[in-house]
């Protein structure tokens, strides 16, 4: 029955013994009254145990890549609007989580992330949110694309869905694991089973779970994208995108546009949309490929899709019906718009994200820049309660008000005991991991260290 069932049985046993004590000691009360009170208490206790032990998510959790809705936005409120000079309170720091850039997923009392130790052990790691200590580890495969490449390490973020976790290793090993134990329920190799073709930097995608399916991107001509039954791993459809694009380094999102539900992904030859039910190829937007690498997870809103061309700029298309399909009509493409590896967030009518020169705020549907600031420089973004949380590539963390009026920084600090980063010729390793916001906490990872900070306004 597992740990949760054992805990629940303990609650029932405790409740029964307490109930019997109440009945025997309170003989003046009628038994139905006592039993009613006992059952109410038992219900409350059972609910508490179930929530803390199982992986059912709440709106305060951060269960996947870029948060609850895969857009970098948290629904939490009551958070600090200004940080003290030293930054928010550090709750704990874990310094030996393994190598990698994986963002933590946070559900209930567990953090889940991917790491590697050496080149033959890439794994999913579960930590306690209370103190950061490991609960379990589960190997999923080898690190992808060889030992001589600087960025050969774990990069994907696990997706938590109910009692299961879906994780993709950098060598293309997709695994479904039990959240409570790390036991692997089923596993697939994107390379071997789908003729997968990753890019130069191997796989970096975080699996998308949508209803009963899990969507991943093997790349290549045979199955550029695939949808699998999340319970069994059985193939639902394979989408052979024209051109047989190798996989990029972004993650797929769900988009409603042009009258169709789609899965939109940034591949090596452009952003594409495929039908969610069948995998039918619908459209392509090629301009974001002008950048050096296809690592910018698309942003969507109101039937529009935005993509960033790394180091250059960004562009927007409007999805509209086109006969039996969908067309992607160009709205704009401009230099200097958000395009960095750290992604962008859409807040109301405005897009916020970084370039190599710093933070930019722009009107989403027109591309008109409202302001730009060097600020913390290039970095990864998340949003919550009116504020932008930015993990700079230099390792610093900043809080910036999300307003189109002006750049208003509300705090900045450097997490303690920064890790040593490698360098290969002119290419330095940077702090690339995205921030995660969950249950009043800010989680920051940098290589082999994970910090948890208290960002709640009051406790």
CATH code for residues 54-454: 2.130.10.10
> What's the mean pLDDT in 327-353?
97
Interval 91-116: pLDDT, tens: 999 999 999 999 999 999 999 999 99
CB atoms within 10 A of CB 78: 11
The region of weakest confidence among 5-14, 261-270, 335-344 is 5-14
Q: Which of 316, 412, 318 is nearest to 359 (CA)?
A: 412
Q: How far apart are CA 296 and CA 309, in angstroms?
A: 8
For 215, other C-beta atoms within 10 Å of its C-beta total 27
Positive or negative, the CA dihedral 104, 106, 109, 110 is negative
pLDDT in tens, 204-221: 999 999 999 999 999 999
Residues 36-79: pLDDT tens digits? 333 333 333 333 333 333 456 677 999 999 999 999 999 999 99
Query: How far from 404 is each of 10, 165, 200, 328, 337, CA to CA, in Å?
Result: 54, 37, 37, 27, 14
**Residue 59's pLDDT is what?**
76
Q: Are 117 and 99 in contact (CB under 8 A)?
A: yes
C-alpha distances out from residue 431 to 23, 383, 395, 434, Å: 61, 18, 5, 9
**Sequence spans of domains, the chain:** 2-51, 54-454
Q: Using 50, 70 and 90 to split pLDDT, how confident is the model at 427? A: confident
Whether this prediction's pTM lies above 0.85 is answered by: yes
What's the whole-number average pLDDT of the chain? 89
pLDDT above 50 (res 412): yes
Asked if 342 and 353 touch (Cβ cutoff 8 Å), the reply is yes
> Contact, 279 vs 326, CB < 8 A?
no
For residue 177, what pLDDT band results from cuts at 50, 70 and 90?
very high
């Amino acid at each position: 029955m597992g740990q949760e069932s054992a805990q629940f049985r303990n609650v029932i046993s405790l409740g029964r013994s307490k109930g019997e004590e109440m009945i025997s000691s309170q003989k003046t009360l009628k038994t139905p009254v006592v039993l009613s009170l006992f059952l109410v208490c038992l219900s409350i206790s059972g609910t508490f145990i179930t929530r803390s032990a199982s992986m059912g998510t709440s709106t305060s959790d951060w269960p996947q890549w870029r948060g609850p809705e895969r857009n970098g936005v948290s629904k939490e409120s009551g958070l600090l609007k200004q940080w003290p000079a030293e930054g928010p309170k550090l709750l704990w720091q874990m310094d030996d989580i393994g190598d990698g850039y994986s963002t933590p997923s946070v559900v209930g009392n567990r953090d889940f992330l991917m790491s590697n130790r050496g080149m033959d052990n890439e794994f999913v790691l579960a930590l306690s949110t209370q103190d950061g200590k490991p609960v379990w580890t589960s190997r999923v495969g080898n690190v992808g694309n060889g030992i001589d490449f600087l960025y050969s390490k774990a990069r994907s973020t696990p997706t938590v869905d109910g009692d299961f976790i879906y994780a993709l290793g950098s060598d293309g090993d997709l695994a479904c694991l039990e959240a409570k134990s790390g036991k692997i329920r089923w596993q697939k190799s994107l390379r071997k089973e789908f003729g997968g073709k990753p890019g130069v930097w191997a796989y970096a995608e975080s699996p998308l779970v949508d209803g009963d399916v899990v969507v991943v991107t093997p790349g290549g001509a045979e199955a550029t994208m695939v949808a699998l039954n999340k319970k069994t791993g059985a193939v639902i459809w394979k989408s052979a995108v024209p051109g047989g694009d190798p996989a990029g380094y972004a993650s797929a999102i769900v988009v409603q546009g042009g009258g169709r539900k789609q899965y939109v992904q940034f591949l090596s030859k452009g952003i594409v949309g495929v039908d969610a039910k069948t995998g039918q190829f619908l459209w392509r937007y090629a301009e974001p490929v002008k950048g050096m690498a296809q690592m910018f997870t698309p942003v969507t809103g109101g039937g529009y899709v935005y993509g960033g061309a790394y180091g250059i700029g960004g562009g927007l298309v409007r999805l509209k019906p086109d006969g039996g399909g969908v067309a992607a009509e160009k709205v704009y493409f401009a230099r200097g718009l958000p395009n960095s590896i750290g992604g962008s967030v859409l807040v109301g009518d405005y897009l916020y994200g970084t370039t190599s020169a710093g933070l930019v705020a722009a009107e989403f549907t027109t591309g008109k820049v409202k302001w730009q600031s060097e600020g913390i420089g290039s970095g990864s973004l998340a949003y919550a309660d009116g504020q932008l949380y930015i993990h700079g590539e230099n390792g610093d963390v900043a809080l910036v008000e999300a307003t189109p009026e002006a750049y208003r920084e509300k705090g900045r600090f450097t997490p303690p005991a920064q890790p040593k980063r490698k360098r290969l010729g002119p290419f330095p390793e940077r702090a690339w991991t995205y921030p995660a916001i969950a249950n009043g906490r800010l989680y920051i990872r940098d290589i082999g260290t994970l910090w948890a900070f208290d960002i709640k306004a009051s406790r």
